[in-house]
Amino acid sequence: MSAVVVWLLIAIGVIVVAGAATMLVRAGRARSIEPRQRPPLEPSTPPPLVAPPLEVEAAAVAVEAVAAPTLSTQLTAARSLFDRVRALRGRSSVGAAERDEIEEALLRADVGTSTATAVLEAVSAAAAAMTMGPDGVPGALRRELLELLGPPTAPLSTKVDADRVAVWLFVGVNGVGKTTTIGKLAAAEAAKGNKVLLAAADTFRAAAADQLQAWAARVGCDVVRADEGADPGAVVHDALHRAASRGIPLVLADTAGRLHNKANLIEELKKIRRVADRAPGQVTEVLLVLDATTGQNAISQAREFSDAVGVTGIVLTKLDGTARGGVVLAVQRELGLPVRLVGVGERAEDLVAFDPEDFVEALLGD
């Protein structure tokens, strides 16, 4: 064998040995990576000997599901804005830091600049006069908000002259929740054993009357509707005569959503109101429905509608899930219009009477 052949065999041998070594190292690495790539192992603890109390859990869930909503369960988003104000319980003086905390919470809750300033001044004045009380800054703020909101408002009125039918007229811009609120109220009246009739005076879209009719079917009450484009005043007129002839004491009248700054639409609304107030009808409530999530724009809506049709109260909808419920305070302070009802969801039961104590407690209570 020549030296060349020997060297060739040695070279082949080296290559084979090196290749085998590389494969072994790779295999080793793969093994060490594998456990990390695998999904975590099931816990090895043995199953409990006693089965979990399934029935008890199911019962608790069922109770929660049917529990009537309240302001404190629905205002969690707005409440969280006041976390840092509530933490000022131990402070009885109001310096720059405390003012900042209060102001920020009020503005983020959408009470508006002028209402926030007024509230802040009153709380600072209480501190300066040493009338803060043991509950500190949040206590003073609570008292100030309650003062601003005033006492709870009366339930919606059905008080009419002899042989008249009470009318609750619902007005507001598009999509605020007028029709849904009527459905909820009709359900509440029916649950109390009261008869109501719904008037679909939103003739702008056929779907609007369909929506109201669907609520009437759910509630089991009468509805009067007309074709798309019909005169909404005529619908109200027919509804009143139908109610009078059937001995139904209350008509809930839906109207088409309209912009508060469109003069012709506001004129149409005035006409609907005049018809509703003519015998056998008698308007006992004009409820302006406002969407809480629109914040300060609600104030200008309230001003225009109030000037046009004499609003008797506000229904503030969609307060669930928004932190902007502070507009309640602005509406009350700037327009003197009471918030009567609050919408806290889309279900029939998601309408609660507005109670100032509950509202303030939901924001600032312990």
User: For binding to Mg ion (CB under 5 A), which residues are involved?
Assistant: 178-179, 208
Least spacing, CB of residue 65 vs ligand GTP, in Å: 17
Instruction: Please report, as residue ranges, which positions from 256 to 275 form the binding site for ligand GTP (by CB under 6 A).
Output: 257
According to CB under 6 A, which one of 69, 325, 345, 356 is a site residue for ligand GTP? 345
Please report how the helices 297-309 and 263-276 are oriented relative to each other, as an axis angle in degrees rounded to 10.
50
**322 binds ligand GTP, rule: CB under 6 A:** no
Give the binding-site size for ligand GTP (rule: CB under 6 A): 20
- What distances in angstroms separate CA 161 from CA 74, 169, 228, 277, 290, one per listed residue? 38, 18, 33, 12, 30
Binding mask 191-210 for ligand GTP (x = CB under 6 A): -----------x-----x--
176 binds ligand GTP (CB under 6 A): yes
Q: How far is the CB of 296 from ligand GTP (least distance, A)?
A: 19
Q: Which of residues 290-319 bind ligand GTP (CB under 6 A)?
A: 317-318
Q: Based on the number of CB atoms within 10 Å of its own CB, is 252 exposed (0-12), middle (13-18) or buried (19 or more)?
A: buried
Rounded CA separation 301/311 (Å) = 11
Among the candidate windows 1-9, 174-182, 298-306, 353-361, which touches ligand GTP by CB under 6 A?
174-182
Instruction: Show Cβ contacts of residue 48 under 8 Å, excluding neighbours closer than 6 positions.
Output: none
* Distance of alpha carbon 200 from alpha carbon 253, whole angstroms: 6
Nearest to 315 by CA among 202, 170, 215: 170
Shortest CB 91 distance to ligand GTP, Å:
36
The answer to the question of residue 69 lying near ligand GTP (CB under 6 A) is no
Binding site for ligand GTP (CB under 6 A): 172, 174-180, 202, 208, 257, 289, 317-318, 320, 343-346, 350
